[in-house]
Chains A and B, each alone.
Chain A
Amino acid sequence: DGGITQSPKYLFRKEGQNVTLSCEQNLNHDAMYWYRQDPGQGLRLIYYSQIVNDFQKGDIAEGYSVSREKKESFPLTVTSAQKNPTAFYLCASTSRGGTEDEKLFFGSGTQLSVL
């Protein structure tokens, strides 16, 4: 699998702990996104970034934080303020942000569970 790499595949969080999920892409895409996937629900947008050093909150940003210091990387931190973090997290990218004709490319996901 090339394109977008997420790590780790599985992650466990203890109470009160912050954890960081990695997302790296080699597609030279400008825009990157983080989604949360829960059973029986559609993908929900957490944060997105259309250019380096800029990012925007999505629909469910509370308890999460991101950074975009490099074009290739968009890590997601799940903070202790996120009380229900157990979910499958998907990172995605598009070649340009916020425009039409932009197809999403997804990473393979990280399953986060609470110990």
Chain B
Amino acid sequence: GENVEQHPSTLSVQEGDSAVIKCTYSDSASNYFPWYKQELGKRPQLIIDIRSNVGEKKDQRIAVTLNKTAKHFSLHITETQPEDSAVYFCAGGWGGGNKLTFGTGTQLKVEL
């Protein structure tokens, strides 16, 4: 089955800096890669996703890049703000909750 690894496990940046979180996957058949943001004690919320026929997708300060050859995808957050502080999860698979494998999460802290 799919194996998704996520790094780093914790990340501290200064407000206004960029943050990058990376995930690798093992199954070349995977074609759907979502990213979720989870604030403490709250539900994970989808912030951006990408499919294997696209190399990059951007939504305001958030972007995701996918390298199918190397089997890795990354979340990029620019101009970070304190409200970006949360745990971010990547996932890989085919869509549908029973076909996704989740990464172990990255605790992002944006410091003033």
Residues on A close to B: CB < 8 A? Answer: 1, 4, 31, 33, 35, 40-45, 48, 50, 56, 58, 90, 92-94, 96-104, 106-109, 111
Contact = CB atoms under 8 A, between A and B. Distances in A.
A13 B49 CA distance: 37
A33 B99 CA distance: 11
A108 B34 contact: no
If over half of A's interface residues share one DSSP class (helix, strand or loop), that class is named, otherwise mixed; here it is loop
Interface string B16-56: 00000000000000011010100001111110010000000
Contacts of B97: 31, 33, 35, 45, 48, 92-94, 102, 104
A56 B34 CA distance: 23
Contact of B43 (A31, A99, A108): A108
Contact of A56 (B6, B41, B98): B98
B99 to A, nearest CB: 7
Contacts of A107: 43
Interface size class of B (residues with CB under 8 A): 20 to 34
A100 B44 contact: no
A99 B98 contact: no
B46 A104 contact: yes
Contacts of A108: 42-43
Contact of B98 (A1, A48, A109): A48
Contacts of A48: 97-98
A43 B102 contact: yes
A26 to B, nearest CB: 15
B73 interface: no
